[in-house]
Amino acid sequence: MVLRLRNEDYGGGLVGIVYSVEDLAGKGIADFILRFIKGREIQLAGSVVSWFLDELNAFLVGFKEDVIYLDFLDDVLPNVSFYVVLSRHKASSGIKSLTVHHTGNPTESADMGGRPKELSIANPIFSYLTLRKLSELVVGRLSDFEVVYEVTHHGPTSLQKPLTFVEIGSSEVEWSHEKAHEVVGVSVINALRELRSSVSCIPTVGFGGPHYADGFTKRALKYGECYGHIISRYAIKEIREVGELKHIVRESVSRSKPAPIKAVVSRKIGSEPRTTVVEELRSLGISHEIID
């Protein structure tokens, strides 16, 4: 079953594009968007700078706070349909990357914002469109960059609107890369434009895999599976109680707009956790596919 959705299906047309003015990547992407799309400067309480982009029907708002702590967005932007967060991605691996992911803390750990064992509302349609645009635009421009979904991690987790993080990684060199700002900026703009017409994809939730969810990324681009939450193998390993794992499966399904109609489960999470995940998916009426 393939769903066809538009921006209006999220409850309205307004979008909140947000970033931290202290973040080289987020600010760089925002500056590019402002050069590409005409904006009217406005004043929003709690922000450092803010504009309204008429063409995209979107707010572009910079805050002093780090983006993982933007738990107050519902108060600042109460009328938007969903949030797009422009951000840096930091990794000791030094991998050059453009990443897309949703937020949440599947385990007791919440050292990077949000609440323990709580997931944000995922936005599989917009995230899929952005991933696809990034994959198209890196060709011939940023060929040494990897485009990939990341698994669900960090805050904020308690917002009442869907949100997607779009990031540049993994060091200050990449965060300052003007071509990366351009590729991400154009991808976000084009994804928002495409939402005005109907989009076909299969809302999906993923279980397993490493932090860089390359397997789920390839499936999304090949089969049109648009992923909401992706719960990593390492997070599942940390969840020792069956009841807690069932809770995260339910959260992964319910905290997504639209809700997934399919799940993809990695065999490598182990037989016992896999049995628990599959049983809970069946109880929720979600079809599943087991992959290696």
Residue range 186-218, pLDDT digits in tens: 999 999 999 988 789 999 999 999 999 999 999
Residue 106 lies in a domain: yes
Residue 44 sits in a domain whose CATH number is 3.40.630.50
Residue 4 lies in a domain: no
Residue 7 lies in a domain: no
The answer on pLDDT for 150 being more than 90 is yes
**Alpha-carbon gap, residue 76 to 72, rounded angstroms:** 7
What mean pLDDT value characterizes the chain? Answer: 95
The answer on pLDDT for 179 being more than 70 is yes
Residue 2 lies in a domain: no
The per-residue pLDDT for 266 is 98
- How far the first Cα of the chain sits from its last, in Å, is 23
The per-residue pLDDT for 13 is 84
Secondary structure string (H, E, C) spanning the chain:
CCEEECHHHHCCCCEEEEEECCCHHHHHHHHHHHHHCCCEECCCCCCCEEEEEHHHCEEEEEECCCHHHCCCHHHHCCCCCEEEEEEEEECCCCCCEEEEECCEECCCCCCCCCCCCEECCECHHHHHHHHHHHHHHCCCCCCCCEEEEECCCCCCCCCCCCEEEEEEEECHHHHCCHHHHHHHHHHHHHHHHHCCCCEEEEEEEEECCCCECHHHHHHHHHHCEEEEEEECHHHHHHCCCHHHHHHHHHHHHHCECCCCCEEEEEHHHCHHHHHHHHHHHHHCCCEEEEEC
The answer on pLDDT for 11 being more than 60 is no
Structural domain that includes position 256: 12-291
pLDDT tens-digit profile of 53-95? 999 999 999 999 999 999 999 999 999 999 999 999 998 888 9
**Alpha-carbon gap, residue 34 to 43, rounded angstroms:** 16
Q: Are 137 and 185 in contact (CB under 8 A)?
A: no
Question: What pLDDT band is residue 249 in, cutting at 50, 70 and 90?
Answer: very high
Burial 241-278 (b: 16+ CB within 10 A, else e): eeebbbbbbebbbebbbbbbbbbbbbeebeeebbebbb
Q: How many domains does the chain have?
A: 1
pLDDT tens-digit profile of 100-148? 999 999 999 999 999 999 999 999 999 999 999 999 999 999 999 999 9
Question: What pLDDT band is residue 2 in, cutting at 50, 70 and 90?
Answer: low
Residue 118 lies in a domain: yes
Residue 1 lies in a domain: no
The per-residue pLDDT for 253 is 98
Give every strand in the sheet of 82-90, ordered side by side: 40-41, 49-53, 58-63, 15-20, 82-90, 163-170, 97-101, 146-149
Residue 5 lies in a domain: no
Share of the chain above pLDDT 90, in %: 92
The per-residue pLDDT for 199 is 86
pLDDT tens-digit profile of 262-274? 999 999 999 999 9
The per-residue pLDDT for 92 is 81
